[in-house]
């Protein structure tokens, strides 16, 4: 029977043809490998119907893509050509022309959806870098499989959002940003509102890189907030003020586990402090060590008399000594230090200089984190294990007791992060960019030709 001009033209072969053509011509698809895997092997339409309309899954996907700003992402997932293809379905067209329109719309929408899912999961600026929360360095979440399983089940929106970080800090910030965007903007506030939006968005981007997986209880330190929180079952159960590193000696972000703490610790002075700060004072007065309860040792750990050293000949490059401060009230680590493995030789500790905790900005250290009310944290760690250990008071500190390690039976995860905007009770809260890290992220996120529409 001769071919009828009104007979529908199958869309699947055209999808296959387009994917082959795009693959041979140029990397026109921004999520090309994912799109090809999504349609393999038969290229069956996912978003359109035999009646030349968009199905409910497509409508749900388009609605979510239009809300990209709520997730701190540039609003370029619905480019003009894709919207034009969507709108073209309302106009009459010959069967073959319509089939090509549907095929192009299929591929364009799949590319947008899969790119959105990838950006939510890994971050817009690091699309090919494994996020920190990937278990064992292996990707557990697969966008194509997740999306395919959701088709026809009314779960496309949930599938598109499923790769986001699950930690409460990301979730609260994202929800607060969505609520903030829904509020009417004050008059004459466009510039300030834009700046606030970008600050919230760039912090969501950071979380996509540095979030952790599901953890029922952990210690979280936010450096710009100068605050430590103990979080249990998604609720903050303890707050502590902290002092963090100066801008020239910033505290690093890290993930580790508190496995033990040391009561009445002695302080092994870091080499950088010994050579940069103490050596010039020793050149002026070898008695500086004794005045500060510090002792000098050689490379084999033998005590040395500082007056026996020709300090004029000692340089920072050639400093074959270690300096240690015994336990006591004036010890730089105070009554307790919390230990956790990390490549930066930083730790969380008490301090005799407690007057600094009353200041609103607290970036004063060499990189370690000083903690207000540290013995209360030590007591909490023991209480959660049903243990009681005698913790030192000021009188015990004055007696200069020997260091004593207390091992935890239930080590507690520790996360140190840098968040200049957080979500609290549905509202955005901003902190100063103490280490000047925001601008580079903001510029790369928003000045690469992708404009974000902020209401």
Q: Is the CATH code 2.40.440.10 the one for domain 166-266+326-455?
A: yes
Is the pLDDT at 335 greater than 90, yes or no? Answer: no
Is the pLDDT at 19 greater than 90, yes or no? Answer: yes
Lowest mean pLDDT among 169-173, 221-225, 388-392, 450-454: 450-454
Lowest mean pLDDT among 51-60, 253-262, 397-406: 397-406
Is the pLDDT at 372 greater than 80, yes or no? Answer: yes
Question: What integer is the mean pLDDT of 271-296?
Answer: 85
Per-residue pLDDT at 137:
67
Average pLDDT in the chain = 90
Question: What integer is the mean pLDDT of 225-230?
Answer: 98
CA–CA gap between residue 69 and residue 62 (Å, rounded): 14
Is the pLDDT at 410 greater than 90, yes or no? Answer: yes
Per-residue pLDDT at 206:
97
Do 95 and 6 contact (CB within 8 A), yes or no? yes
Per-residue pLDDT at 24:
52
Which active-site residues does the annotation give? Answer: 349, 368
Per-residue pLDDT at 295:
81
Is the pLDDT at 398 greater than 70, yes or no? Answer: no
Helix-helix angle 95-122:56-65, to 10 degrees: 50
Per-residue pLDDT at 103:
95
Where are the domains positioned within the chain? Answer: 12-161, 166-266+326-455, 271-325
Which value, in Å, is the radius of gyration of the alpha carbons in the chain?
Answer: 29
By percentage, how much of the chain surpasses pLDDT 70? 93
Task: Give the residue, 334 or 425, on which the prediction is more confident.
Answer: 425
Lowest mean pLDDT among 84-93, 319-328, 397-406, 431-440: 397-406
């Amino acid at each position: 029977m001769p071919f009828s001009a009104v007979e529908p033209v199958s869309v699947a072969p055209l999808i296959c043809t387009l994917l082959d053509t795009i693959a041979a011509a140029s990397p026109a698809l921004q999520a090309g490998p994912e799109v090809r895997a999504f349609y393999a092997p038969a290229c069956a339409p996912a978003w359109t119907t035999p009646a030349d309309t968009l199905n409910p899954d497509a409508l749900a996907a388009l609605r979510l893509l239009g809300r990209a700003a709520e997730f701190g992402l540039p609003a370029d997932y619905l480019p003009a050509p894709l919207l034009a293809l969507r709108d073209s379905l309302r106009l009459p067209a010959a069967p073959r022309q319509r089939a090509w329109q549907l095929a192009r719309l299929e591929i364009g929408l799949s590319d947008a959806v899969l790119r959105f899912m990838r950006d939510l999961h890994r971050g817009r600026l690091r699309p090919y870098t494994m996020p920190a929360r990937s278990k064992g360095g292996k990707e557990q979440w697969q966008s194509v499989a997740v999306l395919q399983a959701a088709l026809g089940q009314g779960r496309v929106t949930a599938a598109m959002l499923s790769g986001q970080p699950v930690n409460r800090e990301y979730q609260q910030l994202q929800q607060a940003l969505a609520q903030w965007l829904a509020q009417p903007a004050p008059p004459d506030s466009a510039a300030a509102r834009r700046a606030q939006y970008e600050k919230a968005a760039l912090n969501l981007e950071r979380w996509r890189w540095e979030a952790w997986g599901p953890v029922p209880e952990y210690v979280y330190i936010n450096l710009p907030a100068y605050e430590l929180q103990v979080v249990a079952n998604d609720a903050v159960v303890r707050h502590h003020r902290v002092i963090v590193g100066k801008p020239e000696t910033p505290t690093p972000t890290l993930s580790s586990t508190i496995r033990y703490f040391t009561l009445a610790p002695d302080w092994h002075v870091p080499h950088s402090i010994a050579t940069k700060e103490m050596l010039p004072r020793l050149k002026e007065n070898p008695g500086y060590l004794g005045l500060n309860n510090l002792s000098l040792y050689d490379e084999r750990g033998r005590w040395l008399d500082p007056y026996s050293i020709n300090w004029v000949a000692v340089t920072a490059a050639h400093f074959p000594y270690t300096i240690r401060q015994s336990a006591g009230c004036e010890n730089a680590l105070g009554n307790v230090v919390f230990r956790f493995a990390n490549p930066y030789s930083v730790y969380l500790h008490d301090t005799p200089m407690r007057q600094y905790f009353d200041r609103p900005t607290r970036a004063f250290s060499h990189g370690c984190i000083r903690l207000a009310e540290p013995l209360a944290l030590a007591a909490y760690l023991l209480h959660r294990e049903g243990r009681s250990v005698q913790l030192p008071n000021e009188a015990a500190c004055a007696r200069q007791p020997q260091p004593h390690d207390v091992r935890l039976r239930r080590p507690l995860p520790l996360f140190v992060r840098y968040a200049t905007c957080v979500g609290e009770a549905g509202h955005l809260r901003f902190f100063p960019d103490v280490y000047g890290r925001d601008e580079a992220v903001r510029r790369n996120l928003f000045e690469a030709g992708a404009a974000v529409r902020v209401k």
